[in-house]
Structure 1
Amino acid sequence: MTTYHIDLESDVLKVRFGKPANGDQVIKDAAVRLEEMVASGELAGGKLLKIDGPASVAVSYVIAHKISQLYGAIAIFDPKIGRPGYKTFIIAISQTPAYKIGELIETDEPHKNKPIIKVVLCGPPQSGKSCLREGLKQAITSIEGAPYPYVITACPDGEGAWFSDAARRDSDLARRLKDEYKAKFTPEFAQKAAGWVRCANTPLNIIDIGGKITESNRVIVREATHAVILAGDRGKDEVPLWEQFCRDLNIPIIANLDSDYHGNEDKIVTESPLLTGSVHYLARGEDVSSRPMVQALARVLVGLCRG
């Protein structure tokens, strides 16, 4: 099984991650697949190619390098923009006056009949939400037939989806980069992040927000469809406040979890109708994707997408 899948459907290049692997192996597999498609004539070139699916920065460079010269323009799907219910692509490469860089291409591919799940990870600060987010993402991608979990970082704390992998390799460097990228949480950012959530068109979206109950978070969370509450020992007294926060916004809570930093094992108390229990040692740089609670939560989210 390859670590990166690439297929051509009409004028759309469908891309997605396969089995988990380091970035160097992923771009090698992507390069081999693209070379095969070019050599066979499957990627024969043309006026416009649209690319739909998740890609790392490194994979994006490989794709651009291998095929940009074959097409007049290349457009990339962005689930955070455009009219809700329809896919919108951004022209990222253009070698023809027919298309301009930054131009939006809206397709007639509807998504209204497909469930779009937008799950917000919320709870007090320093509970391990970002660590859970990354482990959950990996756990979901290991489930056969599961949709790709698109992550929206709706908090300008500098800790994007890249952070966990970076922290595993060099925690000091990851921390320095996070501090450099950190910005202020302004009303303008909240409105922008709310727009990302509102326009998200992928089947499964995970939204990571800040750890305080604020008007800014209220603006963002009201665009979600479900919520997961995670709280550590220091924040357990805030759980009722977060429960009320979600109820006020009519956001159903699908999991209410304890973050047991000093624990040695996960504990699943209930799975339905509410997933409860604890997940242990959510530490930066730790791969938590195989933890029983993370696996259970991954199954819940995939189940929501399947209806």
Structure 2
Amino acid sequence: MEIKQTKSDRIFDICNKVLVWFFIIIILYPLIYIISASISDPSFVNSGQMWLWPKGITFEGFRRVFQNTDIWIGYRNTIFYTLLGTFINLAVTLPAAYALSRQELIGKKVIMALFVFTMFFEGGLIPTYLLVRDLGMVNTIWSLVIPSAAAMWNIIVTMTFFKVTIPKGLEEAAEMDGASQFRTFFQIVLPLSAPIVAVMALFYGVGHWNQYFGAMIYLSDEKLFPLQLFLRKILIQQQMTADMMMQSGSAEALSEHARIADIIKYAVMIVSAAPLLIVYPFLQRFFLKGVLIGSIKG
């Protein structure tokens, strides 16, 4: 039997739909604009004639970006850092969260207090650099993946997921059948935890993909640079060239360089964000479930 909506219910539904469409538009418009600007003639973009769909289509910006061999080195390094870093993050976060979710863990409150302390207080940039240097990780791939091996907030979310989702009786049944805690974790708990694993992989993966500050501090060998540092280098070079042209007083050359710089600027945005936009839809079905369950206080 269909429940008849009252006038206030209909008004509420209309307001909800209007708000949802409003948020969809303000989220999609910048994305569409950047994509359109990256393949549009900069004269149309700068004059405001291109405000949604591309005009004067040109792929010169992408051609110039991908002609730079450093881009491919950066892609290779970033993919490697993202895969390795995310694997290390999951290898630390999941077992730690599972152990903390068990009531019988000795010293659980003390361990949680020490972990939570790190969420609010840290050593700072200089002590962290000195520690990384003393461990011999400066100018190595490990300086980008070991210091960020786990995030306490993610451990808490994952721990809550285990407490809320995994039935205690299931673990007790496994123990009665002779399964060790390691076997219970790997063969029973993890297969039932695909949503939170996907969410944590996405959180950590995005962080590794976008990182540049750590690489800027710890790396000096360009062969180890991630994509974001190479993209930053390209933008800085364009700006320096523009400044030199302004000093030389060549208006025509400056105008042409500004045109090229605008094309490259938007192309660089697409190059850096496209892989994440491609991967996200495959994890979306896990994302909402994992976040909602993992955020419930257990």
The TM-score bracket by the shorter chain reads under 0.3
Q: Which has the higher helix share?
A: 2
Q: Which has the higher strand share?
A: 1
Larger Rg: 2
With normalisation by structure 1, the TM-score equals 0.20
Task: Work out which structure has the larger RCO, using CA pairs closer than 8 Å and 6 or more positions apart in sequence.
Answer: 2
